[in-house]
Structure 1
Amino acid sequence: MTPTRLSVICWGGFIALAVVVSILSWPVIVWIAAIGLFAGIALVDGVLVRKKPDIRLSRNVRHSLPVTAWSRIELHLYNQGRSAQKIAVCDQIPADFSYRRMPVDLILSSGQHAAVTYRVYPTRRGRFTLPGVDIAVTSPFYLWRKKWFFPCEEEVRVFPNFRQISRYILLALSHQLNRMGIREIRHKGQGGEFHQLRDYRQGDELSRIDWKATSRMGRLISREFQTERDQQLIFLLDCGRRMRHVESGRTFFDQALNAMLLLAHVAMRQGDAAGVFTFGGHDRWIPPAKREDAIRKLLEHTFDLYATTKAADFVAAASKVMALQRRRALVVFLTNSRAEDQDDVLHGATLLARRHLVVIADLRESILDRTLDSPIDKVDSALRYLALQDYLNQRSALQRNLTRRGIQALDVTAGRLPSALVNRYLDIKNSGRL
């Protein structure tokens, strides 16, 4: 229980009154009577506020929230007591949540219901608990305030944001995927498996015309093909310490996870199945699936993952995937390697390439590109440029070694990763290499 601002002002006034009484030689009994009366009121007021208010409380919140997006939470309060209550309501919000419109001051009459709405902005993925609500009650004479805790425990799960997937769907519907950097390289009627016969359309290749059907129907008939379906896509997601690097306020791991979910969505729309194996501190295996809830299954198994402080073992991860995934698949490595990792990356990818088609997406720090473009006007900048060129040459050597072994390599920044992955996947589907 703490005194309110009014209480502090009143006590300050009595101190000032004591000074006035002493200066003007007023009878001290006046000051004693006044302070005694106020102390009695304050005592009664304090006793009244010590009783916990009879307030029924509930919370309305979605149990799955998107990270880095505003979400609404609603508190419902009902005063079951006989007297009105002047209260300040503050939900106990996790430290990783930003929030607006909280705390809220209310006056609840007897039998009155009130709804309090506020917004939260989770900055991290994972599981979080909202344990309850703090309600500070002001005494009837506004001299005291006592805080009470009302338990109302709810668990919420913060998932990766779906904005990239939603944007992909909207742009795909309007044939504007180039705005995401994704090339619409496939056109209906090109490549893949035979789907059906249809009337000839202007622009169809002559090689697509079915002459037997044309002679039988008396008009030009074209063969229509569709992308091969029922293939499998496996992600190897590096959770090791290299993925802790932060760019644009997000770690490499978070950006790789978002790109992975986007490509998984694209693959499932193409009729393929997607699965994940995580390594580097978190060893999880989600077998490939393409059911309607497959994306949700991926989310539920990866939303609470973060980059660890452990080193990633590429060879061990490749060996486990070889044992778990017997059917040929497109395997996408998502990692951030250094020179000392190159032998392990090469060995692990070569092991996988015995059975699978392998793509390694090796994230590159964007500061490297900016440094290359900066002017060289001092000895320090020249040395930095040479060291950077040596590092990039090592990365290029790894790319060449991978290519010679039939392994596809992507050396991209995190910002370009989503479009680069989708484009490479569509290239592979279009070529029929899988």
Structure 2
Amino acid sequence: MKKFISKFYTNLFLTNRLFIVIACAVVLFMLSFFFPWLGVVPQLFFWAFVVVLLVDIIMLYGTSKGIFSRRHTPERLSNNDDNLLGVYIENNYPFAINVGVIDEIPFQFQKRDVWFKTHLQPRENKVLNYILKPQKRGEYDFGAVRIYVSSPLGLLNRRYNFEQAQTLPVYPSFLQMRKYELMAISNRLDEFGIKKIRRLGHSLEFEQVKNYVPGDDYRAINWKATARQGSLMTNSYTDEKSQHVYCVIDKSRVMKMPFGGLSLLDYAINASLILLNVAMLKQDKAGLITISEKKGTVVPADRRATQLNKIMEALYKEKTRYLETDMSLLYTTIRSVLKQRSLVVFFTNFESMSALNRQLPYLKRIAKFHLLLVVFFENTELKKLSEEHAEDLEAIYIKTIAEKMAFDKKLIVKELAKHGIQSILSAPQNLNVNTINKYLEIKARQKL
């Protein structure tokens, strides 16, 4: 009995309508002192209010399980993407109700106003959908779903607690990966800004002899097959397959810089996942290495169906560290893991020429054995400062420093090119497109 009473009081909440009615009763009693002709009206109003209140309590608590609810979630969330979640509600009361819903979302979102209102007819059910956009990878803990129900009288709210504590992992952006995957399968990557690279020649692998269609290279016409078939036939070539593509991700402090709510490491991880997926669709083998002051994750190159899941699991909990990258360790790791010439896409960041000069000797050694592509980031905030109009001496000083640092980035590109190292200088938001563009260019020009 005590447990029931305790639960009754714990889950009973007063509404604004109740306080308005009480205020009206108080006003009537006060007016009865000045206007005796009111007589018993205040008392009748008060006792009518008590009766209605009791009826409201009976309506709300007369059904033991008046509401059923559960949370609808995907198995995992995609980082920096809109993820659809929902709360299912079913009304078991024999009358219409007003419902308020609180879903206890993870603390990482720092939201305390996730409150939904709806109206349910008898025996009706609804799904209230909402969007969450995580900004960090890792594990996100959800709490209970709390439902507040009021009857048509609306004097009280009864709370229902549905303990649905669950932990959802937030993976690198697999939703963006799927978009690029569908485009790659249908050869529509140009819709995302992926450039079509003109081929300078044929790759090493012959695919088939097919009927000539307008637009085919006339130099590829197979005259022997044409003579046999009596119609123009042309040779079809495909990209050389089973090349090794490795993404090497720098986890040092230079990758902790934030941009648009994400760190540079998150941008590099998302771009790596998309690039490796496209590489596997192009029949290449995909591999992964993470590095900081010590060796991180190593996933040898492969193109089995389970390879992408291995890479996602490896990138799931990667975090930036606070020391500089040990480039000698990276060099020895690449030499021991990569057994054949491969495309090595190194995601890192340089803010000055001195930072490049510390790493350049090791980059030159790696480039002797593999095709090295260094990907680093354009500082968009500095670019904005350099383009602003300077109105005073302090603004001129800031603009000059910003222009110098932006110019250093361009010098880094030239310095790498001087040593035969390809590079991409990209704004974080354009990283996916620029990286895939470069990969397709390398494939088309047979540089690997």
Query: Given the superposition, is the C-alpha separation of residues 378 and 168 from structure 1 closer, same or farther in structure 2, using an over 3 Å criterion?
Result: farther
Aligned ranges 1:329-408 → 2 under 5 Å: 329-339=342-352, 341-375=355-389, 379-408=393-422
Given candidates 50, 69, 73, the residue that maps to 2:82 is: 69
1:278 and 2:294 matched: no
Q: Secondary structure at the match of 1:103?
A: strand
Give TM-score scaled by structure 2 length: 0.77
User: Which residue does 1:146 correspond to in 2?
Assistant: 158
- Tell me the distance in 2 between the aligned counterparts of 1:82 and 1:243: 58
Match of 1:422? 436
* 8 A Cα contact 1:243 1:253, kept in partner: yes
- Partner Cα distance (1:51, 1:218) in 2: 86
Decide whether aligned partners of structure 1 residues 418 and 49 sit closer, same or farther in structure 2, where only a CA change above 3 A counts: closer
Please, what TM-score do these two structures have when normalized by structure 1? 0.79
Corresponding letter in the other structure for 1:6: R
Query: Could you say what secondary structure the match of 1:229 adopts?
Result: coil
Return closer, same or farther for 1:28/1:243 CA change in 2, 3 Å cut-off.
farther
Instruction: Indicate the RMSD between aligned Cα atoms, in angstroms.
Output: 4.2
CA–CA distance in structure 1, aligned partners of residues 22 and 218 of structure 2: 94
2:21 aligns with: 10
- Give the one of 182, 196, 200 matched to 1:183: 196
Q: Which of 131, 140, 150 is matched with 1:120 structurally?
A: 131
Q: Distance in 2 between matches of 1:424 and 1:87?
A: 53
Q: Cα distance, 1:284 vs. partner?
A: 2.7
Shift in CA distance, 414/59, structure 1 to aligned 2, threshold 3 Å: closer
Distance change (3 Å), C-alpha of 1:100 and 1:263: farther
Retained in 1: the 8 A contact 2:180–2:278?
Answer: no
CA distance in 1, matches of 2:402, 2:96: 70
Inter-CA distance 152–346: structure 2 relative to 1 (3 Å threshold): same
The answer to whether the 8 A contact 1:59-1:76 is kept is no
Task: Write the distance in 1 (CA, Å) between the matches of 2:227 and 2:208.
Answer: 17
Q: CA contact under 8 A between 2:76 and 2:170: conserved in structure 1?
A: yes
Partner of 2:116: 103
Q: Kindly report which structure 2 residues correspond to 1:46-85, keeping only aligned pairs within 5 A, or say none.
A: 53-54=64-65, 55-66=67-78, 67-69=80-82, 71-77=84-90, 79=92
Pairwise CA distance, 1:177: 1.6
Please state how far the C-alpha of 1:305 moved relative to its aligned partner: 4.5
| Unaligned runs of at least 5 residues, structure 2 | 1-11
Shift of 1:363: 0.8
Which residue of 22, 30, 39 maps to 1:19? Answer: 30
Amino acid in the other structure paired with 1:267 = A
Displacement of 1:280: 4.4
One-letter code aligned to 1:337: F
- Residue 410 of structure 1 corresponds to 424
* Aligned residue type for 1:291: R
Unaligned runs of 5+ in 1: none
Which is worse superposed, 169-178 or 269-278? Answer: 169-178
Aligned identity (percent) is 21
| Cα distance in 2, alignment partners of residues 163 and 265 from structure 1 | 11
